[in-house]
Structure formats: structure tokens, C-alpha cells
Structure 1
């Protein structure tokens, strides 16, 4: 890995750069003149489609986006990357981030999502890297909530291996901040979506299915708990908050959320209506089905998609971020559904 002097002395390292948040954050940092390095895992197939539009020819003279191989499971690769890159800012977005999957691979989830953060922080300490550090925390940490809305002072009660690992990472970040005077912050992000969301996550699963069913490419959508409510925002808005946290004089933790809570059923209804397939519902619980205008079953509840422990209701209080960071969400719940269905309709047309 060859390093050149960064423009304006701004150099950022992003783990998880090929994911939804990583791609939006890379765009934002490049627009602000940063040199951006992204840590990616070695794979037999490329998974860079979310950043291909901003990736440059590595042989060009002024390359400001570079990728390097590493893994949150491998301390030696992390140490090597930090020595080579010498970043000013580190954004840890890498994780095994699927809640349902975490029940099936809890040990791996803990290794990457929890212990991986300690490997990063310890590498910074050992290498003397005085970068500002951002840890992607999650609203899932609140679990079975004891108060609503949830703020920075709400106690955690994690209900999945993913959430348990995120709580570990949250406290590790605070511990290193307090013990070693590191600029290390947690952004407690409530659900944030976009057309770049992975297709196994519920919002993208819904928008993709609505587009494919409307195009005749799919017959039915299978979902789990339709009654679960979440605070959903736009990922492009949320990465701005990440950056703002690292521009402050003092490191602090922040909740990032819209302050509105909507059910999975509501998101489903918005997406299908956007695809000109308004739903009516029959049955309840495990027998619930969503019928399209012609009476076809378009949505069916499948118990296989229920989690062993459910989180029923999450809604965030981002008043601290609004007050201290000047951050505001710009995309509404309805606009988010419209945006995602429009993108997936275009993808569906390419499948015809």
C-alpha cells in the first residue's frame, strides 16, 4: 500500500466501506476533500458495487479513495493498516449486522461486532494513532425498552447476540475514551435505510418484493413480525451525523433518530401502494395475509422469520444531536419508501 500526502491533511479510514453506510460516508468525505481508505475483507467475489461509481483508477496521480485488505477478526492486519494509513479519523462501520442471523452465528457475531472494536482501539493505542474514532452503535442495544423515546441515558437491555455485541463495543469505546484520553465516540443509530440497503434487511426486502411483484417477477412476499415498530430514517442523513460527531471539541455519544416510529406493516403498505398494489389485510398473527387489488395473496406471515427474542418498539430522542450537532433528518418515512421502491422498480425492469 503506497501512501501519498492527504489533501488538507484529512485522511479517514472506514471499515465496512462496501456496505450501505460506508458508501454514503465515503461520498461525503470525498466531497469534503478527504483522502479515504476503506478496509475490505478478502473474498473470491467482488462486493464493491456500492462504491464502484466513486472508485478511481489506482494508477492515477491524485487518487483519494483507496481500498486495503483487512479483517476485524485479524489484529495483525488492523495494526498494519493503521501504521500504513496513519488516519486522522477512523469510522468503524464493519460488523456482522443482521440481527436474525446473529442468533444462528452468535460466536462469529461477537468476534466481529464486539471484540473487533477492541482490536481496533487497542491497535490505535499500541501504534500511537491519535485519530478521532467513531463507533457505529445501534438502537437494538435498547432491546426491551423501559422508556420511550430512547435517549443517551436510557438503559440497555439487548435481546439478540448482535445487540449484546454492540453493547460490548459501546462500553469498550467509552472505556478507552476514559482510560486513555482517546477521542472515541458512539453514534447510537436508529434504523436507517436506502436503495443501497442489503436485500435481506426487512425494508429492502419489502421494497424489492413490491417492485418485483408489480413487474410479474415474484408471486408473494414472506415476512415475520408485522407489528414491530422502528424509527426509520435515510442512511445519507445519518452518515452526516457520524462526521459531525468527530468535528466536535469533546468526544460525546449521541442518539441519531427521526423521533417517529412506524410498523413493518406500515412500511409494507407504503411500498406496495407506491408500486400500485394497495394491500388489504386478512387474518391476524401467524395467519395474517396481505391481499392485492385482484384478491391475490401478496404478503404472508411466515413464523420462520420471527426472532427467538423480539424487540417490539423503538423510537429515538435525538434532541441532543439536534442541539449540539445541528443535525436534522431531511427524508421522511413516506419519502424513504418512495425512494426505495423507485430504485427497485428500475432494477426490476432490468430483470425483465
Structure 2
């Protein structure tokens, strides 16, 4: 019946019908990527959650099908669409939804919105609360629905909220869901590319895992992130060409740490490579030639750095590699104190790397 009604409107509401047909066909508007903001190393440090909010608002201006909200954490998740009225019975065209503190229901509602074919939903909460919506995330992946999850406060570095709010096993748990692409960007530049990929996906959901704390915008990501993030992993920096003596791998806020440690280690006549690996799933899907170019099989001295459970990392570091990670819960303290206590400092990473790869 609705198709007959739509056909009857075709002569009167040409633009509206064309818009609906575009959405149902899964096509994004021409030039939508032009709206994406640019960041550079000259910009001040910015949390990836804040960078995500800038990207979201830029996209919302070009993608009228983008609709969503958060579980009562709009300010913290940076998921507000500025200038938009919230959805309500009186305002059914509102694009922002106040879901309330009910993560599972929020995820289930997002699935229904995506199944309409006419809307592209996004939802936000803290990463620790992804557990509450896991069944809905799993169903989105099972159905191949393009829901975008904005998960902020992604590590122990959220600080004084303490271990009740500090995610440890949530990141590897998301990576374990088939069909879900999980991205933990290193900075604002990688965040832009993560959103580019999420907005363009039609065959499944995407999880964006974002920092609470401010992170520097890296010159290296500004040059390489567009291709690198789409491939899931890429060479961010290396001290010299050729097969490295040591590879440091990292995601999210730990990428800047890996860069600083890598430069210090390279001063000792080592060939050091730093790899950003924002998405295990995308990297695993690349051809073997790309993966081997990023992680040469001949280099077995590999050290991964991620403020989460080490589960899953040994696929990339190999039997002779090691992981700087968390085997227990976090603690309530300022982020700097937590970094020192749990070994996420340049000095601690360098010491660990020197044990793994002694001086040549």
C-alpha cells in the first residue's frame, strides 16, 4: 500500500520521493565527504570524542538520514547535533533522540531505525556500558545493519571515576563480534577517517572507541591516515627504510606514546617502526602483501601497547612478541598517575622494548 501511495506522490513531491529512493538504495548524497573537517599537527590537542563530535555535526549537515543520540550522556559523548530539535511525538522529524539510561533499548531501537532503510542511526555511551547493549550490537552485526556506536571514555585514562567505569575487556569483546568493525583512532585525523568509513558502510555496524582525554594531533596521521585507517593498520613512522629491528604497535591514545618511545629507541642505532592498528578486523581483511609490508615476517621483535586486556594481540605480535596491556582492573587516580603505575610511560615502554630487543 505504501508503495502505491509513494507512486501517487511521484508527480507532486518529486524531490521528496527522490530523496527517499536515494536513502532506500543506500546511496549517500553527492559530495558528502567534502563536509569532513581537516585537522593538522598545528591544531591544539583534542580528545577523540570531541573530534568525533565535530565530524558528526559536519556530516549531519550533509546527511539528512543521520539520526541518533545517547544514553543520557550527550555532552560526555559529544553526540549532540547542534541546532536540531529532539525527537518527540510533537516533533517526529527531530533527529536527536533522548534514549534515557537504557543502553540495551537504545541499541535495539537503533537496529529498528537502520532496518527501515531510510535512516542511518548512531548511538553513544561510555565504552564500559557497551556490555549492556551487547545483545543488540550482536544482532546488528548478524543482520548486517549500518549502526554507528560512539563509545567514549575508552580506557583507564578516564581517571578518577575508577575501575567501575574503566573498561578493560570491553575492547577485545567488541572485536570478537563477527561483522562488527571496531576502530580506536589515535587522534583527530584518524577519527575523521574512522567516521568516513563508518558513514560509508552498508553491510554492518561500526564501533568508534574514543578517548576522554585530549590527545595531540600527529603530523604522521595527517599524511597517512586516510589510506591507513581504511586498511585497519599502517606504518605510521620508521627510523630507517628496510626491515626493522623492532616494531611498536599501538591503538588510540597509546599511539603517541609508541611514537615517543620509538624515537628514543631509534637513537640507539636500531631500526624502529611504529604501526598504528586502529582496526583488527579491517587489517585482517587486507591482502597478505599489505599485512606483510606493515608487519614484515622477518621482524619478530614486536611490542604492542594498548590500555586494555591483551586478548587478541598475539595474532599480531607473534610468539616472540610481547604486549604492554592490563591484566587486571584499573584504579581511581589522575590519568598521569595511572600511566606511571601501569607502565604506560615512555620510560616503561623503552625499558620493556630493550629487554625484548637488546642493542644490536
Query: Shorter-normalised TM-score: what interval?
Result: 0.3 to 0.5
With normalisation by structure 2, the TM-score equals 0.36
